[in-house]
Structure 1
Amino acid sequence: MLVSYSPIDPIRAYIGGDMLRVSPEQRANIEEYWGLNEPRVSQYLNWANSILHGDLGTSLLYRSPVAQVIAERFVASLALMAIAWLLSGIFGFILGIIAGMKKGTWIDRLIKGYCYVLSATPTFWLGLVVVIVFSVWLGWFPIGLGTPAGILEQDVSLTDYLRHLFLPALTLSIIGVANIALHTRTKLVETLNSEFIWFAKAKGEKGLKLLWRHGLRNISLPAISLQFASFGELFGGAVLTEQVFSYPGLGQAIVEAGLGGDVPLLLGIVLFSTIFVYVGNLMADILYKVIDPRIRKEWN
């Protein structure tokens, strides 16, 4: 509804050229072909009816089925989000454990300060800084795109893909570290102050052995919950990251769909992202059952 009432002209985006060359008759034919001449409620009902029959519609900008556009773009985004998701989870969990074990020390203060700064850092700004440092100043990585410009797809090597993927994945993973680290630290501090931990210390257990036997399972639950529940934030961060690096993924497609008034593609990606976030939450619930026997008993 917001897109339909916005000043964006989907016909202008569809033609992509000088609107003066298009006669009123041609414009009317284009509107009729795409169903844009119908009332907004009718357009929505037609789209919903197509969804019920498994048809996401056709993209105005790409002139292709929405399902095909999403499938092609998601392959690129999946590589980016998967790498960033793994790195942010691993490093966030490790930093949280270190900060919790070293509570009150300069190491703890350094990690907390680092995480607070990250939490307040916009993704697009960090992406610009990464580009300036590693691409412009040092020249280690390409500035953007998913593959080298001017090279056929079959001639692109795995090294080229990884070089173009590294900076977007680095940017997206750095932002995701903060929440995992801070929540893991808080949970570890609570666990270390519990009675069963004091009892284990009284028996002579300490350090990594104490953490491994009594603390790891307790602190892993909130970390897993946050990590899988962060699918929505991960997708939103990917939108900004892909724009900064001109990375041809699903995030860039949804921005183009919004700016071009491509409602079928926009709604298709929204539905897909909803399923994406739902799957993440479902996986978190399933892993809860595997890790925590108490929850497994409650479910049974």
Structure 2
Amino acid sequence: MNYRKLSIFMGKKALKLVFLLIVVCIASFWIVEQSPIDPVRAYIGEMSIQPEQKAKLEEYWGVNTPAHEKFLNWAENLLKGDLGTSLIYRMPVTDVVKERFAASLVLMASSWLLSGVLGFVLGIIAGMKNGTLIDKAIKVYCYILLAAPTFWLALIFLLIFAVNLGWFPVGLSVPIGVASEDVTFFDRIHHLILPTVTLSLLGVASIAMFTREKLIEVMESDYVLFAKARGEKGSTLVKRHGIRNVALPAITLQFLGFSELFGGAVLVEQVFSYPGIGQAAVAAGLRSDVPLLLAIVIVSAVFVYSGNLIADMIYEFVDPRIKQQEMRT
């Protein structure tokens, strides 16, 4: 590997990440400031309070502080490693993000793996059975998944498997009323299955269709036709020449799907009341918890950028043929 080229590549990506975070933070802060939501009213709800108490809450929320001053104060603290205190959770933002992102990471990682494996297998089967009834059935299935909104699928799964059949819990990540030290590993898995399956469907269709097209392209190539002439056929031919050539592009596409994965997690967490980073982002947005919302924006931007970075590294260093093929198309 050319380490000098790798160093230059990583340096450029680091600069792009810094620029991206600056733009994203400024844009997010401006959007929150333009929101008509009164953070004090969103916090107290319909409860009536004295003017003195309201004034203290406004001071705590910084309602009357100029927007540019609030942003500069936040940026200064950020450079010192202080993300501030969450206004709705009344605890350091760092602790909130760590706790919520850890829960979301388990959900997203399991969904990412499941969607990748299932999508790849379906794509291989469809490519092998090109033009047959099985291929058409898989394509119809993928088209349905591509057209169905994530929150709609989540609601359907919740009603069928949790409410009607009772196979899975209605929501949350642990049983209600059970102390954290008494929650078993199987309890967590039981609560995780339905959100994971729902979120994984988001990426199945794209991986399956991409793998199918790539496999058909590979199987029609000259070297595969030559292998057929030598007597290779069936699953052996697909395994030796097909899977090896489509696996890496499919993995690359999986990493490029980090943004859809994160966006889908927000919707799934809301439907299943899963205490992850997406649910915290919605709460922070609705209650104008600027420190928490900006921290989540930073984390989500780094998360999505990491997926794109890994995909770019595969393009540049692992298999440059992928990039060359895309440039030709």
TM-score (norm 1): 0.92
1:293: Cα distance to partner?
7.3
Q: Deviations over 1:203-253 (max 9, x none)?
A: 111222222222223212321111011111111101000100001111110
Using the alignment, how far apart are the partners of 2:122 and 2:60 within structure 1?
Answer: 56
Q: Which residue of 2 aligns with 1:226?
A: 253
User: Match for 2:53 among 26, 35, 58?
Assistant: 26
Using the alignment, how far apart are the partners of 1:61 and 1:32 within structure 2?
Answer: 14
Using the alignment, how far apart are the partners of 1:169 and 1:83 within structure 2?
Answer: 6
Q: Which residue of 2 aligns with 1:75?
A: 102
Q: Which residue of 2 aligns with 1:40?
A: 67
Using the alignment, how far apart are the partners of 2:32 and 2:320 within structure 1?
Answer: 48
Q: Deviations over 1:131-157 (max 9, x none)?
A: 111112211111111111111111111
Counterpart check, 1:113 vs 2:140: yes
Q: Which shifted more, 276-285 or 171-180?
A: 276-285
Question: Structure 1: where are the runs of 5+ without partners?
Answer: 296-300
Counterpart check, 1:143 vs 2:138: no
Q: Which residue of 2 aligns with 1:168?
A: 195
Using the alignment, how far apart are the partners of 1:289 and 1:40 within structure 2?
Answer: 42
Instruction: Tell me if structure 1 keeps the 8 A contact 2:202–2:261.
Output: no
Using the alignment, how far apart are the partners of 2:63 and 2:81 within structure 1?
Answer: 21
Between the aligned residues of both structures, percent identity stands at: 61
Q: Deviations over 1:30-80 (max 9, x none)?
A: 333343321112212222222222221211111111111000011111111
Q: Which residue of 1 aligns with 2:227?
A: 200
Using the alignment, how far apart are the partners of 1:55 and 1:130 within structure 2?
Answer: 40
Amino acid at match of 2:129: K
Using the alignment, how far apart are the partners of 2:244 and 2:38 within structure 1?
Answer: 54
Number of residues of Structure 1 aligned to a counterpart in Structure 2: 294
1:277: Cα distance to partner?
1.0
The CA RMSD over aligned residues, in Å, is 1.9
1:290: Cα distance to partner?
6.9
SS in 2 for 1:21: coil
Q: Which residue of 2 aligns with 1:130?
A: 157
Q: Which residue of 1 aligns with 2:25?
A: none
SS in 1 for 2:131: coil
Using the alignment, how far apart are the partners of 1:60 and 1:132 within structure 2?
Answer: 34
Using the alignment, how far apart are the partners of 1:126 and 1:14 within structure 2?
Answer: 31
Q: Which shifted more, 83-92 or 142-151?
A: 142-151
Q: Deviations over 1:158-183 (max 9, x none)?
A: 12111111110010012220000000
Q: Which residue of 1 aligns with 2:305?
A: 278
Q: Which residue of 1 aligns with 2:32?
A: 3
Q: Deviations over 1:262-286 (max 9, x none)?
A: 1111111011011111111222344
SS in 2 for 1:185: helix
Runs (4 or more) in structure 1 with deviation over 4 Å come to 287-291
1:10: Cα distance to partner?
1.1
Question: Structure 2: where are the runs of 5+ without partners?
Answer: 1-29, 323-329
Using the alignment, how far apart are the partners of 2:191 and 2:310 within structure 1?
Answer: 30
Instruction: Tell me if structure 1 keeps the 8 A contact 2:224–2:241.
Output: yes
